[in-house]
Structures are given as C-alpha cells and as structure tokens.
Structure 1
C-alpha cells in the first residue's frame, strides 16, 4: 500500500515509521524545509512541498496513493489536503487529524475526510475509560458505518454479572466485539459469562447507547 502523509512533524514521522514497519510505502510531505529530515525516517520518500497546492500534489503523484493522511498541526491545511486528495486525485481513503475540538464537525465526507482522528477526543476518552465504571465511553466513530466503538466497565451491581453474553438482550444493531479481563483479550462466545470489572467493547450506533447503559448499569442510569 502506498501512503502519503502531509506533515512531517513528530506525528507524521511516527505514523510513517509504523506504516513502513508494516511493509507499506510512505511519502512524507512538508512545506517547512526544517522538517525535511530524511535521516529521521530513512526508508520513507520525502518531498518539500505545500500539500494545499495542486501542483505539489501532482508532483507527489497522489493518483498513485491508496491512502492520504493529513497530519499537520493546522486544521485548515488538513481539510484542504483531504479535499484535494479526494476530489482531484480520487484517493480511495483519506484520514484527517483534528487539532482543535471546535473544528471536528468539519472533518466529514463533505470535505473529503473518510476518517477523522481527534487528538482531544482520544485523550478525553482515555481519561474517561480509565476512571469510569458503568458509563459508556465513546472511543471512536466509524464515519462510513454511522456507528461508534464504545466501552463500558461492567459494574458489580449489574443484573447481568455472571450471565452468558448470548443471553443478554443487547439492543438491536449493537454488537459485543471484545471482552478485556485481567489483561487478556477475549473474543466473546454466546456461552461466555461477563464478570464485574470486565471492559466490554461494543460497536453500536449512537441512538442505542443510552439503552445499552440502562441495560447493563440500571442503577446508575434509571433502567
């Protein structure tokens, strides 16, 4: 897979190293000459250019890329880069970094963004996930599927502690995908009971999240 990354700062370089480690071809693009440091990611291609300029993206041959990641520290740049990649070069997949939470609503398919990654949202979700029991924490939004990855730490007073997951009447269109327990990852089977303290990960649309909370933690959510 060929991936172009706009923004060769710490975030862009880290993504590049990970992708290269996984066997992908990576092009790093940055308009700041001081950011062009090929020795930091020697296996990547480097291009000194402005990703908001159509001519620069033509030079980068974005039409040959499978994915474009807009990872600069400027939300305007990330939006324009994503839009040009999608509309002018037909890139199949675009990922946009959101730096300011007030701008998150802009990072949609209308601006050419297939997946947005909000650093503030991720950090707040990680904090909530670490301290919340009995509350759903939204970890990630799947734009194309209109669903979210959500997590709940099952409280000890849940009526379903000890119940096989296949017998729990989860809301329609809601799927339990993983159980995290004692540092282990379990793929849930219908016969596997859930236990107090389990971290349950679901894929669910936003309109069933409240029902899911009331089902699993009624004492906290009026179920």
Structure 2
C-alpha cells in the first residue's frame, strides 16, 4: 500500500514508522524544511518538504498513485484542505484526517473528502486502525517487539495460489495472514476469501523465513 502523510509532527512521524514497519510505501510531507532535514536518514520513508495544501506539492509527493492520505497537521483548516484535494483532485481511495478542535468535528465529512475523521485524543494504534481499515495488521504489528516479522508477498497470474481460498493455503507453523491489500484497499482476511492476481498479503510469523512464506503462495 502507498500512503501519504501530511504533517511530520510527533503523530505523523509515529504513523509513518508503523506503516513503514509493515512494508508499506510511505511518503511524509511537512512545511518545515528543518523538520524534514531532522528526520532525513532516521525514517525508512520518502520525505518531502512543502505545503501539503498546495496541489503541486501533493502531486510531487505522489498523490496521483497513493492509496491512502492521512492529514495529521495541527491545523484543522489545513487538514480539511488536504483531504478535499486528495479526494477531489487526486481521487485518493481512502482519506483520514485528524480533528484538533472537537468543535470542528462536524466539518470532517465526505463533503470535505474525509472518509475517516479521528479526534486528536485518539491513541496512535486506534488512529492507524481507523485510517487503514486493517485492524488485524496493526494489532499484530505490536508483536514486532517480541521478534515477530511482518512479511509481504504478492499473488501473480502464475502463482499456484490463484483461485484458492485462504483456508486451502498451508502456511508455515507460527504464521498468520494479517491482511490482504486488494485494488489498493486493505481487507481483513476470511477463510472463504479467494486469492486473485494482484493481491498483496501481509503475513505475520515468529519463525518462518521470507522464502518459506513466498513458497506457500508461489
């Protein structure tokens, strides 16, 4: 999944770290050149200096091909403008925005391009779950501190798993499919779900190698 985060404050930076840990393609934008310079080399994400309220900056950051935009600036007006541009001008499939002032919550709706409005007091993990729609993935990412790996694999037209249900796939011991990204949208997997070419899977495992996970699907 490609994610674009506007606002490199504490919240935006933490979201970028978690999404990047799940091997997502993450871009982080901030108006403050010094903040971008400070983060350079510290995060496994693409950094863009500029005003995310400007269409040309969003375009430069890859908004035309991104799957998810999260507006996390400390200014509600900016978050609304970013959301509206993302949805209306760049047709981003999923847009989430932080609500800093509770009195402005009523503005954060689909008329402003916001799919998910998240109050500022919402815990980080809950915010990412709401934004991505991938509750299981984010919850399982918490296990990474205990030596659990998140491994990504893709289904190609040549994969032997094409057309199989998840129940028919034999995974290495200690592994579980956390989410399936289909047409850019994270989906909570179910046993009867059939795999299609183009599906991207995030598999959580505490013992299997990347090669073993790939072999289960390819």
Q: Please give the range of the TM-score, normalised by the shorter of the 2 chains.
A: 0.5 to 0.7
Residue 74 of structure 2 aligns to a residue whose secondary structure is coil
Equivalent in the alignment of 2:57: 56
Task: Specify every segment of 5 or more residues in structure 1 that has no aligned partner in the other structure, as ranges.
Answer: 124-141, 143-223
Residue 15 of structure 2 aligns to a residue whose secondary structure is helix
1: CA distance between counterparts of 2:42 and 2:18? 10
Contact kept, 8 Å, 1:16 with 1:41, in 2: the verdict is no
Structure with the greater alpha carbon radius of gyration: 1
Range that drifts further, 60-69 or 30-39: 30-39
* Number of corresponding residues: 126
Equivalent in the alignment of 1:29: 29
Q: Give the RMSD, CA atoms, in angstroms.
A: 2.2
Shift of 1:22: 1.1
1: CA distance between counterparts of 2:52 and 2:103? 23
Shift of 1:38: 3.0
Shift of 1:42: 2.6
Shift of 1:84: 0.0
TM-score for the superposition, normalised by structure 1: 0.53
Residue 94 of structure 1 aligns to a residue whose secondary structure is strand
Pairing of 1:152-171 with structure 2 (within 5 A): none
Q: Does residue 103 of the first structure (1) align with residue 97 of the second (2)?
A: no
Residue 43 of structure 2 aligns to a residue whose secondary structure is coil
Task: Specify every segment of 5 or more residues in structure 2 that has no aligned partner in the other structure, as ranges.
Answer: 124-129, 131-218
Residue 72 of structure 1 aligns to a residue whose secondary structure is coil
1: CA distance between counterparts of 2:103 and 2:34? 29
Shift of 1:109: 0.4
Pairing of 1:107-146 with structure 2 (within 5 A): 107-120=108-121, 122=122
Residue 8 of structure 2 aligns to a residue whose secondary structure is coil
Contact kept, 8 Å, 2:28 with 2:47, in 1: the verdict is yes
2: CA distance between counterparts of 1:85 and 1:21? 24
Instruction: Give 4+ residue runs of structure 1 displaced > 4 Å after superposition.
Output: none
Equivalent in the alignment of 1:88: 89
Contact kept, 8 Å, 1:98 with 1:119, in 2: the verdict is yes
TM-score for the superposition, normalised by structure 2: 0.54
2: CA distance between counterparts of 1:34 and 1:74? 19
1: CA distance between counterparts of 2:7 and 2:41? 14
Contact kept, 8 Å, 2:4 with 2:27, in 1: the verdict is yes
2: CA distance between counterparts of 1:44 and 1:106? 30
